[in-house]
Amino acid sequence: MDNNLISSWNFSSKLEATIVILPDGCRDLIMKVVNKEKPKWFVSPMFDQARIVSIEANSVLSGYRMKPGVDIAEETLLSSLNESKENVDDISNLLSDYTNIKCSVQEALDCLATDVGSVKQVAKELGVSSRTLQRLIVSNTNKSPIYWILLARARRAARALTGSIPLAEIAEVYGYADQSHMNREFRRWFDATPSAMRTTPKVLCLLNNKGYD
């Protein structure tokens, strides 16, 4: 597997369907085939909120999820794939040619995903100024450092819903001011309260997919 590729997935449906996509900090290269027609390739956006996506009947999708922060030469990658007359047998080799992530960005994102705390504390851990960290992350991901901190925290807290821990305790463990604060953050990221997510195990299972956390 290419170093910039963290997982792959497949989905198929004979009937029209809808799927929920939770924000995970990643972009996916996706091949879509409808009614056995010629495959179409596209790169998904990085979703900031939960989305419901409609899928046509008789669809087959194959996805290749890339690490958070990976830079994609999207135009040339898609041109190469869509103009190909044959199936791509080794997508990881192709992705290695058209994707890249700076070591400094990888290190910073890894640190932001931990429980280090504030942007200032993360910058200190990395040995740079807060302004330098801000410039690095924004210029390479189009998102701020606090965006990545909040996303990782929300995803970790949401996975804790699969147990029987009281919501107020989950809020405290994952650094929210209180349960109301956690409710607001969950609505922002997942368009649902923690209580609602706890009663929809199919949605919670999506958090087991690899992503930013």
Q: For residue range 166-193, list pLDDT tens digits in order.
A: 999 999 999 999 999 999 999 999 999 9
| Sheet strand arrangement including 5-13 | 5-13, 59-66, 28-34, 40-43
H or E stretch covering 4: none
Could you say which of 49, 84, 100 is where a domain stops?
100
pLDDT of residue 89: 63
Task: Please tell me the pTM assigned to this model.
Answer: 0.92
Q: What percent of the chain has pLDDT over 70?
A: 96
Name residue, tokens 């994952």. 174
**How many domains does the structure of the chain reveal?**
2
Name residue, tokens 């997919």. 209
Shared-domain flag, residues 177 and 199: yes
Shared-domain flag, residues 77 and 159: no
Q: For residue range 134-155, list pLDDT tens digits in order.
A: 999 999 999 999 999 999 999 9
Residue 3 — very low, low, confident or very high, per pLDDT cuts 50/70/90?
Answer: confident
Rounded CA separation 73/83 (Å):
16
Residue 94 — very low, low, confident or very high, per pLDDT cuts 50/70/90?
Answer: confident
Could you say which of 100, 122, 142 is where a domain stops?
100
Shared-domain flag, residues 107 and 199: yes
69: left (phi over 0), alpha (psi -120 to 50) or beta: left
Shared-domain flag, residues 197 and 171: yes
Residue 93 — very low, low, confident or very high, per pLDDT cuts 50/70/90?
Answer: confident
pLDDT of residue 87: 53
127: left (phi over 0), alpha (psi -120 to 50) or beta: left
Q: For residue range 5-47, list pLDDT tens digits in order.
A: 999 999 999 999 999 999 999 999 999 999 989 899 999 999 9
Among the residue ranges 85-89, 94-98, 124-128, 178-182, the one predicted with the least confidence is 85-89
pLDDT of residue 123: 96
Domain that holds residue 77: 5-100
Shared-domain flag, residues 26 and 72: yes
Shared-domain flag, residues 171 and 130: yes
pLDDT at 85 over 60: no
Residue 91 — very low, low, confident or very high, per pLDDT cuts 50/70/90?
Answer: confident
Domain assignment present for residue 213? The answer is: no
For residues 2 and 95, is the Cβ–Cβ distance under 8 A? yes
Shared-domain flag, residues 148 and 169: yes
